[in-house]
Amino acid sequence: MLTNKIAITSLASISPLGSEADWIWKQYLSPETLITTQVYNGQTRLVAAIPQELRLQIEALRTEDSKYKALDETVLMAMLASRQAVAQAGWKSGDAFGINIGSSRGATQLFEKYHKEFLETGKTATLTSPTTTLGNISSWIAHDLKSSGPEISHSITCSTALHAVLNAVAWLQSGLATKFLVGGSEAPLTPFTLAQMQALKIYANPDCSNQTNKEADCQSEPVEDLSLKYPCRAFDFTKTKNTMVLGEAAAVACLEVGHNPKALGYITGIGYATDDLQHNISISEEALCFQKSMAMALQNTPLEEVDAIVMHAPGTLKGDTSEYKAIQKIFGDTLPMLTTNKWKIGHTFGASGMLNLELALLMLQHQTFIGIPYAPESNPRKTIRKVLLNAVGFGGNAVSVLVATR
């Protein structure tokens, strides 16, 4: 149980949706997906990439400071989003605030680049190790913002960003800090990372319709159906194959203790749990980890007050089904409105939980539920008072966070 209010005083992101709050909301109001096809090492892959104008801003950072030239995109994206977030919150350079920004995969682009060079030459660049370590995101952001609080980095797969929220809440509740910058950053659109997901046979294939995914490639002719219009079929129980798609993003939020007139919303409950693993990549059939994390986040909150859930729902057969079963176990026959954003922006791994928080705050702000175009809306509510958001990753490390307008 939280003893103090935790205000979310800003949230900034760089994602396929863009980076400006008004434009992000307009994108959510559109039923169109932002998933497209790109070619990696001669292979056509479905991905959700950030807009070109944002990539130009990232590249501009490399010339802004000579030390930034060698940094991975995970760091640079997080840096741009963090600058925007602290400006919105009114924090100043040199302020005493903590930073906890992590990544599931880390510096995938640089790591693959340096490893390729090593295989070709037997040598590697001087900065290979410091620029590919997972711990350098928060450190570089602290350097860029001149903050004087604690710096924490971690990797807890796809729940990384929401685990950062948990850590920050603990610091804020303890009185060891009054402000914390939290989030996640992921730049996974690289040949090796995409090949890893393809090898797991959980990735959407751009060349086939909704058929059983038995092999890495499907030979059927494309047809005009919803599985081509929406390649990632997150939370679609009619699908017969895995349809996960990767996206890239960085998203961070400013958290402060107590009531705040700038608050976009408040964190009113947190929960976490780890599954007893039955397989390297999947959670239990009824997602016991989600059942436990949601129950913890919802303690002392009447279930009828939860109007919506932003699900993890990665678009895989087992992932979507098990989370839904967990929600049914907790809420019974009266389910909140259920949604996910992965059909639109793909799965952004360590940043995905913070993008779930962004969607939750936007729905609270605009009092408008953003559903899934191909899924029926369940139990529509007149108002949106509280939104629960979920994240989980390899290892069954579930996190649930409850947010409200006050």
Using the predicted structure, report yes or no on whether residue 35 has a pLDDT greater than 70.
yes
Query: Domains along the chain?
Result: 6-191+246-257 (3.40.47.10), 265-404 (3.40.47.10)
Using the predicted structure, report yes or no on whether residue 215 has a pLDDT greater than 70.
no
For the chain, what is the mean pLDDT?
Answer: 91
Q: What is the pLDDT of residues 38-66, one digit of tens each?
A: 998 888 999 999 999 999 999 999 999 99
Percentage of residues in the chain having pLDDT higher than 70: 93
Q: What is the pTM of this model?
A: 0.93
How high is the pLDDT of residue 281? 56
Q: How many CB atoms lie within 10 A of CB 210?
A: 18
Confidence of residue 97 (pLDDT cuts 50, 70, 90): very high
How high is the pLDDT of residue 134? 79
How high is the pLDDT of residue 240? 93
Mean pLDDT of 294-309: 96
Residue 49 phi/psi, 5-degree rounding, is: -100, 155
